[in-house]
């Protein structure tokens, strides 16, 4: 596996640095802060607030963060580390698979998601990770994810 660039390793990353790494923007940027970045692990925070656009329809009178968006937040946290590895700079990460996803408790407005992503292995331009999302120390979601890294100019060739 490639090494994380020294410019972010071991640092807390604010939203400006995150936006310089990930291509996502509001309302689809689902990471507010990165607390830890190493060659093997990335830990991030997503503050869940009632003004998130998805709460208008999921569900009126009983707001719950959609599980697919928790998985996406995991992918984005992992992407901060993966896209800063030598060989992946300037690339995009596309989902290849989501396996063993488990949703244990609902996530509601006012929760702070602590998302821990272990960067497991890379082979060629594919990476496997395991993500765990917690609220107040309790696991709410976990999943195994796989990404493919592509250069933006390769996008239309598939």
> Would you name the residues annotated as active-site residues?
58
Q: What share of the chain is helix, strand, coil (3-state, %, to 5)?
A: 20, 40, 40
Does residue 4 sit in helix, strand or coil?
Answer: strand
Locus of tokens 């250069």: 151
Give one DSSP letter per residue of 116-146, joined into a string. EEEEEEEETTEEEEEEEEEETTEEEEEEEEE
d(CA 31, CA 74): 9
Alpha helix (H) residue ranges in the chain = 15-21, 67-82
CA angle, residues 76, 103, 54, in degrees to nearest 5:
60
């Amino acid at each position: 596996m490639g090494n994380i660039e020294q410019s972010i390793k071991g640092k807390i990353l604010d939203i400006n640095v995150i936006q310089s790494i990930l291509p996502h923007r509001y309302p689809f940027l689902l990471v507010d802060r990165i607390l830890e970045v190493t060659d093997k692990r990335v830990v991030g925070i997503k503050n869940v607030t009632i003004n998130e656009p998805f709460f208008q329809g999921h569900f009126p009178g009983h707001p719950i963060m959609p599980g697919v968006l928790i998985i996406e937040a995991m992918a984005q946290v992992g992407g901060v580390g993966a896209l800063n590895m030598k060989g992946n700079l300037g690339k995009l990460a596309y989902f290849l698979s989501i396996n063993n996803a488990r949703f244990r408790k609902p996530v509601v407005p006012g929760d702070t998601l602590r998302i821990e992503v272990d960067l497991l292995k890379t082979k060629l331009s594919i990476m496997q990770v395991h993500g765990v999302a917690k609220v107040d120390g309790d696991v709410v979601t976990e999943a195994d994810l796989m990404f493919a890294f592509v250069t933006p100019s390769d996008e239309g060739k598939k």
